[in-house]
Amino acid sequence: MFTFLLSSLLYAAPFTPFASEGTVIRKPVRISALGNTCMGGLLSSKMCGKTRVIMQSIAKEKPDAVLFLGDFVKNGNANSWAKNTADYQGVLGDIPVLAVPGESEYQMAPKLLPYAKNLPGMAEDIGLNRSAGWFHIRVNVGEQKWKILFLDANKNQMGSKWNEQLRWLDKTLKKNKDQVLVVLNKSPIDLGGSSAKEARVLLNEVKERLGLLQLRAVLFAGSRTTQAFLPEGNFDPLYVGCGGGGLKADNLHRFERKKRWGLHPALDAFYMENLMRSDVEDAIKDMAKGKGDYKKKRPTLSGAGFPTYGWCNINIDGKGIRIHTNYLSAKNQVKKSLKLRYNKLKGWHSTK
């Protein structure tokens, strides 16, 4: 009996694939995205409470796909994949999956072979017994033409694959006419303090291959927060951090250091309204307002006192793209914290 159970565990079914390299989808697409999921502590591989509530909420939405923004297994060995995959599938059922790799997926598996095995179609064989951590899909609905680039920003783990990915970008973005959404594990810029140089370098490589106003949004895990901001303006890329997936939350600054930009005003207002209505101690509220003992410090949402757990929804249809963020409260209540749409007249703007 024990042998049978162990065998079943080690050979758990891979995730149901949503798409593979170059797939063209000709209907509206709804994707739920999250990063920094918690799959247990040092001696456990059991899904943590906040992550389970988020996954259950996503399952109720019945999206076309769930997008894992890296670091969604404890490490890259076959046993961890089997345990974690079974746990996710126990909540999601057969909802298809999309993913990008994080450092955890490389740990103990530098060639990403278990990653490729468990995510069919999302990690092509690139020779020498290695798998790619990048791919793209296209979404064409009416006049809306989109490329979604799922990229690998783990330069330190990739070795020569980094340059192979850049050559793939040359090919994929040659004479590009589509609007582009970039998906990463690491954050190019981050109000939670986890920005990564390699992510900025990779994003700049993408920008250099695109025409004016083709890059619409950058989706990442980054810090253990849920955040969104427009550092350049409404017609420039929207940055969305969906890293509040259940690991112990990070502090989230409301503004960058020089206050040139900050959280999207609608998201900032949502967080502040909910914080002020909560029963947390006054010091947590002062920290967010930059008052009292925090008068000379940057206004910051406390990860311990007001964690910004949640996930993101990405919808592409005949009218364009919509991105929503969701907030999971301390009492496990779910609220829409931000609703944005892009169009050519208004750029990124809030919707009801």
Calpha distance 72→21 (Å, rounded): 21
Query: What Å distances lie between residue 3 and 7, 80, 322, CA to CA?
Result: 6, 18, 48
Each residue's pLDDT tens digit, 332-348: 999 999 999 999 999 99
The radius of gyration computed from the CA coordinates of the chain, to the nearest angstrom, equals: 20
pTM: 0.95
What confidence score (pLDDT) does residue 29 get? Answer: 98
Q: Has residue 214 got a pLDDT over 50?
A: yes
Calpha distance 79→247 (Å, rounded): 21
Token representation of residue 109: 């598996």
Let me know: does 80 contact 73? Beta carbons within 8 Å: yes
Each residue's pLDDT tens digit, 97-154: 999 999 999 999 999 999 999 999 899 999 999 999 999 999 999 999 999 999 999 9
